A and B are shown apart, each in its own frame.
Chain A
Amino acid sequence: MMEIALSGLETVGRMVRGQIIGLGRFTLLIREILFWLVRPPVRIQLIFKQFEFVGNKSLSIVTLSSLFTGAVLGLQIGKIFGIFRAEGLMGAATGKALALELAPVMCGFIVTGRAGAAMAAEIATMRVNEQLDAMEAMGVSPVSYLIVPRVVASTLMMPLLSAIFLTLGLIGCYILGVIMFRIDTSVFVSQLKWLVWVSDIRKGLAKALVFGFILSTIACFKGYHARGGAKGVGEATTQAVVSSLLTILIVDFFISLVQIRG
């Protein structure tokens, strides 16, 4: 009995130790990212390449998903509001939800799945094939060369993608509202203006900025510390996606809490 308890304690202790080590490494990586962020060389070309990878290549999936998210949200809200004869408010309610929560969170999910996973896999492959070691051996910091451009591009691209998501989501909602609920355009727009404030959009974009930083640092961290061949690359990619998605949701709650109290 005592042995089982001790073994259980040992397992818990090992898990806690592992988590603390992981957190320490993550903190060190963030410190190094911040160090290289303000220190030459500024790798403009690599940053623009990542803008293209994170932003441009995510655009089609953001377009499609935002139109349908806006439409389905409008459909559900319109249906419920219809009970109270308040279908006119569907655009405003959808806009509020999109601006404050759905646009940044959904964009975070999309960019994590598309770009974050690719970042983790690419860096992990470079780690297991000793390419990162080779870079370090040449006196080039992989954090400066590989990670900083990805983090900068993701952090700056996320608000832009989020703004596009919001706009197209509203368009999706508007199209559905006009076709299914026969809502008048002027009612849709006036209610939207009444309920969705500039500060809501600003709050949503701030969240997107934070999510961009989170998803890219987690993806790069998991890739950077990958070990052990193809299996290690797969594990790093999976962990990067799962950890990013969970962290985005948790951080979203706390940012919302601060924003509501503020």
Chain B
Amino acid sequence: MLKPSAQGVSKDSSLPIVVFNNVRKSFGNQQVLRGLSFELKRGEISFIIGRSGEGKSVTIKHIIGVLHPDSGDISVDGVQLSHAPETEWIKARRQMGLLFQDGALFDSMSVGENIAFPLIEFEKLSPAELTTRVESLLDLVGLPGYGNARVPDLSIGERKRVGLARALALNPSLLLYDEPTTGMDPLISELIDTLILEMQKKIRGLSSVVISHDIQSVMQLADRIFFLHEGRMYASGTPAEFRASADPVVQQFITGSMEGPLGQPIS
């Protein structure tokens, strides 16, 4: 059964990897998150879906601590972080990997240097070990031999794959994907989907959070879906529960229908 939005969620014994409790965030006069509450289970692939501008990327940036809430609590891996000092966030972030929408690669560095960046910062590796790690990560994302390539010369798909390799560099326990397949051709989308599943299988206990508009990917990969609507968690459940949902808002969104309570995209 599809669960309605849970307000005031409390920590339970299953130790969720991420807990949001009544999180609010505004930018100027624009309220983006309006009391967002949810729990992401450990070891699962969780998809956060919702219309554009509903605050999905803002949510993911709160998980990683790039943005901080105006009010409400955020816990990651059992640690209360919403009001923690930056040093605590820095420690927490080393356990996380984030793939940004367009990769967010450092364009002053080569592809190899981008992937090596977190390894140089946090792991004491010899130059030979570093090269081997970078090459294996490039192999993993299907870009062998791209180490010396310049970032501006890459296509958007290649940028995302390099971004994924960089996000995986430190073997994170929480991997966040911000619209990984947006703007990609079907083959690359399929590759990224496969990579998400592969990572989940290869790394024991890995939790993945994916923001996506790609309903096909969502239904195929998700262990659990979280539907963000009007700055709150409107509904959550498994893909089967979403398919079976009688809620007209959920149905309109997952079927992409022009008619329904969400209105037409332009309106």
Contacts and interface: CB of A to CB of B under 8 A. Distances in A.
Partners in one complex: yes
Interface of A: 122, 126, 129-131, 133-141
Main secondary structure of the interface of A (DSSP, over half): helix
B117 A136 contact: no
Interface of B: 61, 64-66, 86, 90-94, 96, 98, 100-102, 104-108, 117-118, 121-122, 163, 166, 170
B104 A131 contact: yes
Contacts of A136: 64-66, 93
Nearest to A141: B90
A30 to B, nearest CB: 15
Contacts of A130: 100-102, 104
A129 B100 CA distance: 10
Chain A to chain B: the 9 pairs with minimum beta-carbon distance, closest first: A134-B104, A139-B93, A130-B104, A137-B98, A139-B94, A139-B90, A133-B66, A138-B118, A137-B64
14 contacts: A122-B108, A129-B107, A130-B100, A131-B104, A131-B106, A131-B107, A133-B66, A136-B64, A137-B100, A139-B91, A139-B92, A139-B93, A139-B94, A139-B121
Contacts of A126: 106
Given A134-B106, A138-B117, 5 more contacts: A129-B107, A133-B104, A136-B66, A139-B90, A139-B121
Contacts of B105: 131, 134
Contacts of B106: 126, 131, 134-135
Contact of A140 (B65, B66, B121): B121
Nearest to A145: B121
A122 B106 CA distance: 11
Given A139-B91, A140-B118, A140-B121, A134 B100 contact: yes
Given A133-B61, A134-B98, A139 B104 contact: no
Contact of B122 (A131, A134, A135, A139): A139
B112 to A, nearest CB: 16
Nearest to A32: B86
B55 to A, nearest CB: 16
Nearest to B86: A141
